[in-house]
């Protein structure tokens, strides 16, 4: 059986601010019926169950879909794309590309604590931090993430609300396993 997971990753949260942001996200999701009430988390991984208003997350076409689980992750984490592979798009020259091994070396460097580690576009040389790279199958790098298992991507309206709640930029990671 294969599954498609989707993560919304806060790319600006610091490790110090992450626990409070994770709690703000959990409270908001519970208040809006998107997840069920759960005990306050004590670990870095907060596992939740979808609630009666979960459809508020999705586009109308996906209404009625219920994810296998909902998880808030607090702490430094790399969100990989699994079997989707990595496909990035350059915001400067619009090139689409699959990064080479140097990308994955730098993923390790990021995980070890270097937020500033960057990767250049192979077409035009434009360089930006790993967390800032977008694309059809971008990876995620951050201290706060919200993951729905076995679920289509969230609607733009939901993403906008999450961005406002966190006060940060977010990236979507689509993981196929």
Q: Which stretch binds Zn ion (CB under 5 A): 11-19, 27-35, 62-70, 95-103?
A: 95-103
**CA-angle at 91, arms to 87 and 97, nearest 5°:** 25
For residues 27 and 91, which CB has a smaller minimum distance to Zn ion in the complex? 91
Classify the C-alpha dihedral 152-146-56-158 as positive or negative: negative
CB of 124 to Zn ion, least distance (A): 3
Identity of the residue, 20 or 93, whose beta carbon is nearer to Zn ion in the bound complex: 93
Rounded Cα distance between 101 and 92, Å, is 22
For Zn ion, which residue of 90, 107, 138, 166 counts as binding (CB under 5 A)?
A: 90
Instruction: Return the beta strands (E) in 106-164 as ranges.
Output: 118-120, 127-129, 134-137, 140-149
Q: How far apart are CA 21 and CA 145, in angstroms?
A: 10
Tell me: does residue 93 bind Zn ion (CB under 5 A).
yes
Q: Provide the minimum distance between the beta carbon of 171 and Zn ion in the complex, in angstroms, as a whole number.
A: 18
Among 6, 18, 121, 130, binds Zn ion (CB under 5 A): 121
Contact residues for Zn ion, defined by CB under 5 A: 90, 92-93, 95, 121, 123-124, 126
């Amino acid at each position: 059986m294969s599954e498609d997971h989707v993560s919304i990753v806060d790319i600006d949260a610091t490790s110090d601010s992450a626990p409070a942001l994770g709690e703000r996200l959990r409270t908001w999701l519970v208040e809006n019926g998107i997840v069920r009430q759960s005990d306050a988390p004590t670990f870095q991984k907060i596992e939740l169950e979808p609630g009666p208003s979960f459809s508020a997350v999705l586009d109308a076409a996906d209404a009625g879909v219920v994810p296998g689980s909902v998880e808030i992750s607090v702490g430094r984490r790399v969100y990989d794309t699994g079997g989707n592979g990595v496909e990035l798009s350059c915001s400067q020259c619009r090139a689409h590309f699959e990064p080479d091994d140097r990308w994955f070396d730098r993923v390790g460097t990021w995980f070890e604590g270097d937020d500033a580690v960057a990767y250049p576009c192979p077409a035009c040389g434009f360089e930006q931090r790993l967390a800032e790279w977008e694309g059809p199958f971008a990876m995620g790098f951050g201290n706060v993430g919200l993951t729905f298992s076995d679920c289509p991507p969230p609607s733009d309206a939901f993403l906008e609300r999450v961005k406002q709640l966190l006060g940060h930029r977010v990236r979507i990671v689509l993981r196929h396993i």
